[in-house]
Structure 1
Amino acid sequence: MTALPGIALADWRAQGQHFSFRGHDIRYWTAGQGEPLLLIHGFPTASWDWHYLWAALADKYHVIACDMLGFGDSAKPRGHAYSLLEQADLQQALLAHLGVDKAVHVLAHDYGDSVAQELLARHQQGQFTLASCVFLNGGLFPETHHPVLLQKLLLSPVGPLIGRLFSRKKLAQSFARVFGPHTQPSARELDDFWSLIAANNGPAVMHRLIRYMPERRVQRERWVAAMQATGVPMRVIDGAVDPISGAHMVARYRELISNADTVLLKQIGHYPQTEAPAEVLKHYLQFRQQLGNAACSDARS
């Protein structure tokens, strides 16, 4: 499969714009025209995670992404009570800032999956208009989420210390365990991931960001009920060998969601959008083509 060229981090950063969310500076990116497609990144990285897919998606859609509060090049306030619900508020505020008033398609990963689940629940409550939702590897169900040691330690009483001691070396060790065996990040990629994590003294707030794990448990019934009840088209594209949320999570998804639309990527780990971006793009565009075909069929009937 043809490789996608990607965007160098320095070039990505140069394209970023800013807006203020509740007094905090948020970095965001937008490109392309057409139906709005909101890309929501994971923990502990940032929107640059989407750089391989960005140009190809912008050829077809109005792509929008931000570094969420506490991540990447956005503000990382110390002492802040970070929340998935607030991050969903942030996504809605960004769309409002950009004047987007159409139904929004969402492509999410990891922590971003939880934000997308909250947006789906708000859609069900009439507080947001979602057109479709595609989830990459993430903890959609707390009972199938297998956190790595770093996450467990960050959530423990020694979390603040663990965060302060977090380093590029620790990141490399953590990523080596969750990426696929044949799709490990390069030294350059690790440097870039680390640059985004380290920006604005990011390690100092990691123990606060990690509170998303218990928050997921609190919201589990509401989010799963929304997924089971919704008419919003959904797909899961998942790296199968991810120890955090790989094939075992997809098996649970198939148990809980009727007519589950799932794609398993063999030998791919937790970051399919960087490990196998061409495959993710193929399966995402196929999903959107199916939506378009269904809409045309409905229009004719």
Structure 2
Amino acid sequence: MNIAEIPLSVWRTRGYDFMFRGHAIRYWVAGQGEPLLLIHGFPTASWDWNYLWQPLAQRYQVIACDMLGFGDSAKPSAHRYSLLEQADLQQALLTHLQIDQPVHLLAHDYGDSVAQELLARHCECRFDLGSCVFLNGGLLPEAHRALRIQKLLLSPLGWMVGRVFDRASLDKDFSRIFGVDTRPSESELDDFWSLIAANGGPRILHRLINYIPERIQLRERWVLAMQQDQVPLKFINGAADPVSGLHMVQRYRELVPNPDTVLLHGIGRYPHTEAPALLLRHYNAFRAAVGVRENVFAVS
């Protein structure tokens, strides 16, 4: 399948805004059918999904937002950013859109942690989840290998590191997490940087990075939720990712019963931009299997 990019300039014109706890949040919605919520990673934004947006919208009602502190959404400078609040934000967006049926999740990186919290809430009957697919991310913090820039942002000098983080820094630190043959073009890096830099983004990177210790604090809650087998889960992983690649899948397979995993060899941390057609094929196969499972349960 030939998948076309949606230019960032076009993507931005298609967004809407809603207010979440006094902050403007930018979101996108398209298509009809079962709701599919796409949750982006750090430090980028929902434009990450642009290659998959139109193909997925042909089958589902696709929904995505730039989370608080990301992309074209508000980036309050003194805010205490939290993965739990980002999960609240996703639920608030669904309420705003009057979604009242099971929601399917496709999440990446930082968004994986938000999806894990939504999975835990499903187990507590506080969220209606249909299925969840994780892409590269720190699902199990003991297997996460932080980049040097992440460690620096977590240090007492993190506020200073964020303020000097620029387009050249992005090229140096960001490009190395991609596959050797699938690294972003200069134009793509320009667009990624535009989203990071919007609304004074670099000045809050040291605040956003607190998701790493928060993951550790919430690990047991989230691992237990993944072990419950209440909803279909799949982990599609770019094996060349130095942060959460092959080693993360190996740990996932040790802890999650009957793990459904796919390794994309030669692909790095961003499978949805590095190999969108391949990812789409795996996702569609997963959803077809979910549909068969639902029909079997309905008959029984």
Into which bin does the TM-score normalised by the smaller protein fall? over 0.9
Correspondence list, 1:43-122, <5 A:
43-122=42-121
- Provide the C-alpha distance between the structure 2 equivalents of 1:279 and 1:138, rounded to a whole number of angstroms: 18
Q: What SS is found at the alignment partner of 2:131?
A: strand
What letter corresponds to residue 95 of structure 2 in structure 1?
Answer: A
How many angstroms apart in 1 are the aligned matches of 2:117 and 2:74? Answer: 22
Quote the offset at 1:299 in angstroms: 3.1
Cross-structure match for 2:145: 146
1:189-238 CA deviation, whole Å, 9 max, x = no partner? 00000000000000000000000000000000000011101311000000
CA distance in 1, matches of 2:85, 2:9: 28
Report what 1:167 is aligned to.
166
Alpha-carbon deviation of 1:292? Answer: 1.0
1:224 matched residue in structure 2: 223
2:183 is aligned with 1:188: no
Asked if the contact 2:123/2:230 (under 8 Å) is kept, the reply is: no
Tell me what 1:131 maps to. 130
Return the letter of the residue paired with 1:44: P
SS in 2 for 1:34: coil
> Does structure 2 retain, via aligned residues, the 8 Å contact 1:124–1:230?
no
Mapped to 1, the partners of 2:22 and 2:14 lie a distance apart of 22
| Identity across matched positions, percent | 65
Contact 1:36 1:104 in 2 (8 A): yes
Query: Over the residues paired in the alignment, what is the CA RMSD in angstroms?
Result: 0.7
Residue-pair matches, total? 300
- How far apart are residue 61 of structure 1 and its match? 0.2
Stretches of structure 1 that go unaligned for 5 or more consecutive residues are none
1:116 Cα deviation (Å)?
0.2
Residue ranges of structure 2 left out of the alignment (5+ in a row): none
SS, match of residue 236 in structure 1: strand
Q: When the two structures are superposed, what TM-score results if normalisation uses the length of structure 2?
A: 0.99
Following the alignment from structure 1 to structure 2, what is the Cα–Cα distance between the partners of residues 76 and 7? Answer: 24
Q: Which residue of 1 aligns with 2:207?
A: 208
Structure 2 distance, partners of 1:297, 1:170, is 51
Secondary structure at the counterpart of residue 131 of structure 1: strand
Q: Does 1:293 align with 2:292?
A: yes
